[in-house]
Structures are given as structure tokens and as C-alpha cells.
Structure 1
């Protein structure tokens, strides 16, 4: 090649070299400018930015990463400074797995990802955009993020508020539904009206009752005035009540309605209805059916009245029980003296004296009967019940009843249940039946008919309350006459003590009281049904006992007496006439009597009696029971005969009768006294040899 061409070629290459150098210089200058621009943008951008590079760690391949690049905004948004060169598991070890789970799929798939996640270590919520840096072999991922904690909290609070509001709305709706359900199904009758007397609401009970009372099916929107147009009296009453409520008054009224013979009582509670500003917009009414409560209160009043009556009767019983002792002491003395005088007079043949004695004896027995009736009424008299068949008892008394009421009155008996047994005191029941028949006779002065009926009845819970008896089976013994009858006022007081419509010389007023006391004490009840001109029926309800096939117990005959004489007897009796009579009677039988007016005197004598006879109500600080106990400390087997004007229960204070002891109730006949003494002495050993009284006081 020619040198000139070679020269030219060299010149061109030099020019190209210079041009290349200029281009490289320009490129370097432009590249530096780009880097400066990138750095400027990188450092000044508002979002946080970092580049992370994955590496294999102890937790497995690509299980950790290191921050290779981070801008200044990283610290501001993430809250962690100087992260370049820091490893994830060293920075936030507790959260490392969660962030690896986010960025790992981006590195593996190359798909960008946007998400929000809380950086728990700093409490920041970050909105993150991340993508892979190519090539994939670099194992780098770019992360662009910003702090959205405030927005997240606001959204969370708003969401919670919305949820709370939804819950409140749901609760309010449920509450409203609940109240609507409660009102609709309430036992109260609910009515609501506005100021124009138009019904705003009514529940189904109010609708039902309104239709029953006023033949109109009530509904919301109806006018009260129109609904009660056919009931002017009721309309006026209702309008007056509603106007009081619309005027602002809250009050309660008890209103009675009667329809088809049924009387109902309703408690009506009126209350004004106000809006949020307190302005009255209507009124509402709650009505409660209190018919049952009113009836129960009426029954309670009647029960209280009956209780007061029973208390009054018990008070009379306590009074009669208190006077019975002294009264019976007098009776015992009178009867004993009369019997002795009768014996003496019969020997002297004084013909005019026996008639006087008969009269006195009759009066004394009437007084004794009066005391027995008083005790029976006061329920202090001891009954001796046994199983009896009512038919047998009534049939056995039919002839006596016929003679007692006279030939002008027909007596008939009916037995629907002829095998009925009852556990009662037979003499008391006989006395009660005779008393009822005599009362029936007195109500038929011109003659008539008495029907005695015996049947078994079943007392149900309803009738049990009326009769004041437990429910169950009873025997009903009824005595019915066709006489004058009684008014309701007289029938209500018939069992009161001393109450009588007969002349005072014919009746003490204790007949029905005695029957009532006996029946109640036997566990039964007495019922009176009577009306003027329609006769009277008195029913005795007596407890029915099963085992009706068994015959009633036979009457027990008195034990055969074995005469005993020459025995030493201690007598303690404070009533001097009675003490003298008992002493004389027993001495006439050959006994040695040591008599004392009180217990201390008898115990001081230190006698050795084979029989102790003692009154119960004694002066001196010791009663007869205590005297007997003191004697038995020295003489454990000595028999005791208690004599008392009280009931036998008063002798023992409801305790069992001691062995070898008996009770003789005043007034008693001398024959009964002798019989009891001889029976008790027959229990002891042979008589003593020297029967000389140790002490004798009159």
C-alpha cells in the first residue's frame, strides 16, 4: 500500500480514536449525571425504598435476606435506622418468617406484589409495592413502601364504629321486637291512645276482653268514642279516666265488670305518654285481672272473721275451764250429802223429804250436765274414742229419740252407707244426736218430721276449703227437720256459746256449742243449712275409717267388784264437805281413812297407805300429781285415785296415765267412788292388822 494512503488511513484512525475518546468522556459524564440524578431521587423521594438480597441461611435456602441499599425515607416510614447491611433475622427475629413469606414468592416467580402489613417491632403499618431485580440470579428484590398507620387506624376505627352501630341497631331492633312480643303476650291488657282518643296500639288480651265486654273487635286506629257509642255509661267513665291521664296524672283504679252473672275485678293503671321534649302526646293503660286476688282477699276476711269467732269461743272455753273445778266441788258435796241423807231418811220413813231430795238431786245433775257441756265446748274434755258403726249407734237410739221428741213428730232413718266406721266417742256422739233432735223438736211445736241420714261423702279440695277440713272421705250424719228454720243471721251465730232464741228457762244456749266442740275435737266439722219456713239441716262430718267389714268394739262391762275392807287409805282433799263425805262412806265400809286438806300435811304425817286418793287442784304449793309422785318415792307400788273437777288431761298435763292410777271426775256418785276404791285395793296385798287412823281432820 502506498505511503500516502497509509498516512491517510492513520490520520482517519486517529480521528476516530479522538472521537471515541470524546464519546467515552461524554458517556461517562452522562452516566455520572444519571447516577447523580438517581441518587438525588433515591435520597429525596418520600416513600421508603430498599433493595434486599436473599441468601441461604441456617433456616434453609433463601431463608434470610440482607439490606444492600436503603434510602433516607426508610427510617421515617419503617421506624428503623441504618438498615443497610443488616440481616432480617437479626433485625426482627420474631417477624422474619412473615416477611420471608411475602418477598420469597416475588423472588421466585418475578411477579410484583402489593400488600399491607404491620411491622410489629415498631407498630407501623406499611403499604408495600415489591418487584424482582433482574436478572434473577442476583437474588435481589426492590421494596417501595410508605407508612399508612394513621389511615389504617382510622379505617379500623371506622370499621369498628360501623360494626358497633350495626350491633346497636340490631340490638335496638331486637329489643323493640322483644318489647313488642312481651307487650303482645303480656298478662296485662295494654291500650294506648293519642290526645284525640284514637287507639295507637292494643295487645291481643285487650282486644279479647274488649270484644267480650262490648262486642267490638278493637284495633289500632279505632276511635274510643266510636267503639263505646252503644255504651254511654261506660263511655263517660272511660273518658273521665283517660282525660285524667292525658292531663298528666298517673293513677290506678279498680273497676268491676259484670256480664253473664260473672263479676270480674280489674286493676287499671293509667300513665301519660310523653315525647322526647316532655310534651304529652297520649296515654297508655295497663289492665290486670285481679278477680282471683279479690276473691282470695274476701275469703281471707271471712277466715279472719271465723278465726276471731273461734278465738272468742276459745276464750269462753278457757273461762269455763277455770270455774269448773270449784263448781264441781260444790256439786260433788251436794250429791254426796243427798245420797247419805236419802239413806237416813229412808230408815226414818220421813215421806216428805225424798221429794225435796229428788228435786235437789235433779238440779245438781243439771248443773253437772252444764259443766260437761261447757268443757266439751271448750275442747278441754277428754274424749274416749273408739271404732263405732254409725248405723248401729243411730238405730240403738231411735226409740229414745222418738220418745224424747214425742208422738207428734215422725222420726225416720236412712243409711246409704251402712258399714261406715268412725273413730269417735260413742256417748258424746249419742248426746250430740239427741241434742240435734231435741232442737228440731223445738222448731216444730205443732209436729212434723225428722230425717236422720247417714252416708259416706268425698270432700274435694274446693269444698275442703269451705268446710275447713282436709280433703278426703268422711261419714256425714245429717239431722233434717221441716220446722220453722232460721234466718242467715241466726244460723251464723247458732254455735256461739250461750246464744239461744228460746226462752232462758228452757235452754242454756250451749247445746249446739257442745255439739260443735265435740265434732271439731273429733276431727270433723258441723255445717248448718237453714232458711225461714224451709226447715233446718245440720250435718256432722266425721272422719271415715277403712276396714268397714270389721264389727265395732263391744262395750266393756265394769270389772267385777271384790269387796275389800279394813285397808288404810290416805285422802287429800281441800274441799271440807267432800272430804267428810268420802271419809264417812269409806269408813262405813270398814276402811281406815287418814284425811288431809293439802299435800304438805299428808306428807308430814309419813303414813303408809295402801291407797292414795287425792284431788288435783290443791292449796299449799303441791298439786295432786306432785303429792302422788312424792308418795311413790316411799311406796312405789301404792295405787292412786285422782279425783278432779277438771278434765283428766288437766290431771296429767297430757302425759300418759301412771300405772296403778285412775281418774274419777267430779261430780261422781258414791257407788262410782266405792267401785274405783275396791278395784284399786284389789291390786294390793292383804290388809294391815291394826287399822287405826293416824290422823283425822275435818
Structure 2
């Protein structure tokens, strides 16, 4: 009847004409229900009637014959903790517009237990969208849940075991090259014991990253296991970790994964103990052999037997004489206190400790100490013996022999004294070598500086001529400005102002380049823009080589930076140009060219350089050239082809040393009568780009409305006047001082000061930096602008400046001064 009602609800005619169809449908329904383990249900919402198949009784024990078929009965069988949730989820679908529903919950069995079920249903709606029926299937998940729980518990037990065992465990993936040879491996998983023994978390890391020198044995062994599946068990020493490991390895997963599981233990302590045992046994054997040799040679001077339970010594007459005892006492028996009474007081504690140690936990005994003979003289003996024990380990007896080692000790002492004397001599020798090395390093630095000063000397004549020209331009322009102002011809004044300013800027540029070139301090290698360096050096080179020689400078677009000491590179470049000039006494052409170079294969080998990217700086001349013999000696120290007094012969030698220390090379190409090309190859620097300080923009300068107070300290009245007038025009309030004492007095007064502008070189006992530091003791936040005529970093380097401090190099433009002041005021 239940099946017939379901079919009728489904719209199947049960009349005579549809009998065959009903029977076929009934059969399909029966077979489908039988073919599945699911409990099938059909819920008619209007009648609140639920139709169940036979699986309900088979799976959960509820008899269909007496079953309450209402929807309320079904809901009541849901576990109380799940009921509200399931009720809400199913009605959310029924009351909404959905058609599919599923949920997991616990369903009450007839025996009182609950089954874990997965229930799914499909809502049937009428033409108006109202839910009228819901057909579904309930799957008993209890066995699946039990299996999942068992698997989870098994995994948890395995995890707990791996986390608590002392052996290290890891899953390793082996990497192979194109020839299927193992080249690396990494740790995919590891237990805590692995991390404890490794000291760090190595999961995910390739072993060559942290142990690049690991022995090939590990790669070959693990690779063999991963490829063949053959397990491995071994002990091996890992030099990279300085430890012994006991290892068992098996392949896991698919063969193509190349993964293995390894379990290993750090057995270093055990191996060390075994080694100590072997050493101890070797010593024991050596002692036994020595006793036998002593017996054969007559070197034994006495024997003893010590009964440990009774503490009774019996010795022979030779032993008694050796210890300065009456021979008769040796046969009567002695106590330990009587025996050691004649042992030297300094040796007695060590002897007692050695005896107690061998009785407590040892077997063989050997100890040297001094005893007093009957004539009162102490001499060295060696006692060798053994402790005999009962089966339970109880010490029973302690027999042994005495050997006279006094002469051997004397020889050893003499040897030690000679060794100490030799060690002292060696230490003194090392000190002398260190001192001599320091002297040579100082001499080398002096030679390097002398070479630089030689180049500076070459500049002197040209610079004097150029500065006279520049000063003539400045002086003449100013004089004509005065004349035109007196004449009232104001239209020409701007022209002379521009002329004077241009000449002053060119003079300042020459001064800065000369100061930077001639500085003495050794600078660390820095990323260097060689294009910029060549451009900045161009005027200096031209003035050095003179007007009869044309200097061409050729940079490269996209030129790589290089990591070098810029001052040494400048020195090298200038010396190469001076050498080129000297090779062209009748004039000629010098070309300075920078370019990028790839060195690979035969080209790199020909230049004796590793493969890689290099920056090439080449100086080419059209001079006399060099013969092969001269080229072969060109880099030798003190070798020169110049007349006596016109060169040290160190220029190319120092350039060669500079290039090699910078990781590069220097090469000469020359042909007699045609000229010479000398190339510096310097490695490409792959770090941060070189900052171009020439590209920094100017900060707009504005008139100040606040009238901040500035203290100006400078011993040059003209500079003070210019600073006061220029900053006064911008609205600042100015206070002046002519030396450090007057400036410090104002800084320590109650006068309000927003900014200190001071020259670095001041009279009055303090320089500008010292005065500013003293002023900051009472004005901790004092802002300071230092002005100096030296190279910017010579007196006050950027690394020495505190917060709120800047430096400005003379000469400077007024707008740069105003911009720097405004930056400090706004900081």
C-alpha cells in the first residue's frame, strides 16, 4: 500500500490500462531500493506523512509495521544536540525556493544508540512554487566515521611516536641531474628530535644551502635508495656537522617522487666513548708491554701486592728500598698510609685520587710520582698495576710493579725547556715579522701617496695658469661693473655679473676636484659611476697634459657601475694619461673610453680572468708605443723608460696592484710607432644604483614670515657680511661673532637662537664643530650649518654629523645657502 500510494503521488495510473506500467515502475523502485544501502524516504507535507523503505528497519531497527509515519516522529529521532540545527536547515530549503537539501546528524536507533548519517533530500513544488513533497535518502556513515576515527587515532599515535622518540626522522626528496646522478636533497618533513639534533629548522631547505661541503657519500647513498628502492643501514661521519650518525633509509611514495624516509641517531657520544675505550685499551697494552720490557731489561725496581679487603700491603725488598722503608716491613704487611708516607707532599693528593679512581671504576693503573729514598733525595718512579675483582665487581686485590723513570723525566724536562725556548723564539719572530710587515705597509702607502703627489705636481703649472685666467676674469668683471655703475650704464652690469659668477664656479669646481684627488685618507670601495668620474676628471686631465694634446672622453649609455675606491681609480686614470702624454712629446691625441664587456670562454682565458661581466676603462694614445720587452717589464716596480728624475717607475705597478685588489685586471696593447692602449677591467657591481648627487633638485626659497634668529660665526668679515646681507633679505634676524669664544658665549647666553651657521676653521681655541658640540650641551636641539673651504668630508664627514646638522662647501651660491638654511629650519 505504501508503494502504491507513492506511485499514485508520483502521477502513475493504477487502472487496468496502466497495470503493466505500474508493475514495471514498482519493480524498478524495488530493485533501486534493494540495490542501495540508503534508507529511502518520501515526505508528504500536506498529510505530514513520511513513507520509508525497508532499509529503515534493517539499518536502524525501527519496525515498519508499527512505525509512526509522521514527520514529527522523524524529527524526534534526531539527536537533541543536532535537532534544532537540522530542523532549521531543512525548513530553510522548504520555506525558500530551493530544491536540494543535505545535512549530517545523529539518528536514533531502536536499541537506543545513535548512528552518524548523511541525509539528502529533493523538494518537489507545485506549479505555484509551493513545496508539496520531499524525497530523500539517508546513508549510515557510522562505519565510515569509525574508520576515520581509527585512521585519525592511528595517525595521532604515529605522530606522537615520531614526536617523542629520540631518533631523528625525516622525509627527504633527492634531486638528480640530467645524467640521473644525485646532486642534492632537501628535508620535506621532520620530527622534533631531528630539529633538536640539527639545531635549526631545516624543513624545505636543500642540504647544499647550509652544508655545501657535505661528503658525496650522503648524496650517493640516498640517491641509490631513491632510485632502486633498496633500503640502506649504515653509520657515517658527517664532517660538515662534525658528528657521527647511525642511519636507516627506505624509499617511500611513488618511485618517480624520489623520496625516502630516514631515521637516524646522533651516535657521536657513543663513537667517542668507543674511541676512548680503544685508546684506554691501547694505553693498557702499552703499559703491559712496558712492564714486560722493564722486566726483561731489569728496569723494575720493586713489586707489590695489596689485599684490598684487609688493606694489607706486601712488598719486596726492592720496593721497600725504593720507598725508603725497612725491608722487613714489606713481608709483615703495610697499610696504605705507611706506603705513601714517603711520597712527595705535592704528589700525594694526585696519587690518592688515581688509586681511588682505579679501585672504584677502573682496571689497569699507571701513575708517576716522586718518592724519598733512604738518603733523603726525591726521585721519579712510575707505578703500574691492575685491580682484580670478584664476579660481582667487588675489588679484591691490587698487584703492581715500580719503574724508575727519573732519567726519562729529566730528558723530557730538558726537551720541554728547549721547546719553550723555541716557541719563545718563534713568537718573537712573528712579532718581528708583524712589525716589518707594518713598516712595509706604511712604506707602500707612502709610495702610493708619493705617486699621487707626483701627479699633483704635474697639475701645478697648468692649475696656476688656469686660476690666473679665472681670477683675471672675476677681477676684470667686477672692475668693469664698478665703472659701468659710476657711468650709469646699468644695462651692461648683468653681463659682467654672469661673467664673474661663471668664473667663480669654474674655480670652485677645479678646487673641489683637486681636493678630492689629493686627499690622503683610505676610502672603502663604493659603487662608482665611471661615466661621471671621467666627466669630472676631464678638465683636470686636459690641464695636466697641456694644450698640445687633444683629450677625448667617451662614455657609454647604460654603463654598469663598479665597486672600487674612486680616489684610487682617479689616481690610476690620471697617471695613465700622464704616461700617454710623455709618450707624445710632439703632441697627439688621448682617448679615454668606458664600455661594458662580457668575458667568456677563450676571451676570458686570454685575459686570465673569470667568466663574467666587466666594466672596461681604456686610455689610448697616438704616441711612440712600446716594444714587447718593455711591455713585459712595464708592471715591474721601479721600472721606467723616463730619464732619471722624471719618474719613480711605480705608476703602472701601483695601477696593476689596484686593479687586482679590486677583482679586475689591467692589460697593455701597444705597437711601436702607432701608440698604446692600456685597459682596466673592473667587475660589474650588481648592487644598488649609484646615486648621482648632481641631479638633486633645488628647494624653492621663500621669504620667512617668522623672522627666525641665526647666529653667524666666521672670522672672515667679508663672508659674515655676505651671509648677513643674503639671509637678512630673506627675513631672518642675524647675530654675528668673529671667533669661537664669542660664538660660544652667545650660545651659552639667554639669547634666542634658531640656527647656528659657523665656519669649521675658527680662531679662539675651538673649531666650529667643537664650538657647536659645546653649544649643544646647553641647547641640545641646536640646528647647525657648517661652512668649510675643504673637501666636504675632509673635516666633517656625513657619518660624523648629528641630527639637525648639515655641511656646505665654499664657495657656494646664495640660493644654495638659502635652500640649505630653509631645509634645516623646516626639519
Q: TM-score, normalised by structure 1?
A: 0.37
- Pick the structure with greater CA Rg: 1
Structure number with the bigger relative contact order (C-alpha 8 A, sep ≥ 6) is 1
Q: TM-score, normalised by structure 2?
A: 0.32
